[in-house]
Amino acid sequence: MDMIKLLQPYSNRVKISIECEKFNRPGLAELIPFADLLFFSKSFAVGTKATNGLDFLNHLRGYKKEALLAVSWGDQGSFGKDASLAFHIPCAKVESVDTIGAGDTWIASTLYQLAYKRQNLRESLTQATALATRKCGIQGYKLF
């Protein structure tokens, strides 16, 4: 089914978040204008020739003016942009044991902080970056 036709009836009634992980994925660019919250991976950003998260977010085009933007940047932490400004959230240094699932942890935590805790993007990314960093320091998903 055509994703754009699927999203159009809901785009004014629900919040839509989109994860942009792999650059040049067919159809992804056409979905960006529908998103209220966009998550990007460092891999995606580098695919656009970006060299750092702030430049990537400041030069990104095609999204809603009021959309929230977030990009993870590995051991450099996260970058976010709301309606007013772009910012950097550094992460603690940790011995990386297992990065599998860290991006999913980062996104899930951000969504939880925004939707349930009603925090702003900066506060949400601060919590999410700390949690994803902790995830990288443990093997698998044992509770910490």
- What are the structural domain ranges in the chain? 3-136
Question: CA-to-CA distance for 63 and 69, rounded, in angstroms?
Answer: 9
- Tell me which residue has tokens 């450099």: 76
CATH number of the 3-136 domain: 3.40.1190.20
Percentage of the chain surpassing pLDDT 90? 75
Residue 74 has a pLDDT of 93
Low-confidence ranges of the chain (pLDDT < 70): 1, 3-4, 6-13, 143-144
Q: What distance, in Å, lies between the first and last C-alpha atoms of the chain?
A: 40
Mean of the per-residue pLDDT values of the chain = 91
Q: Do β-strands 78-81 and 86-89 pair in parallel, antiparallel, or remain unpaired?
A: antiparallel
Residue 8 neighbours by CB under 8 Å, 6+ apart: 34
Confidence (pTM):
0.89
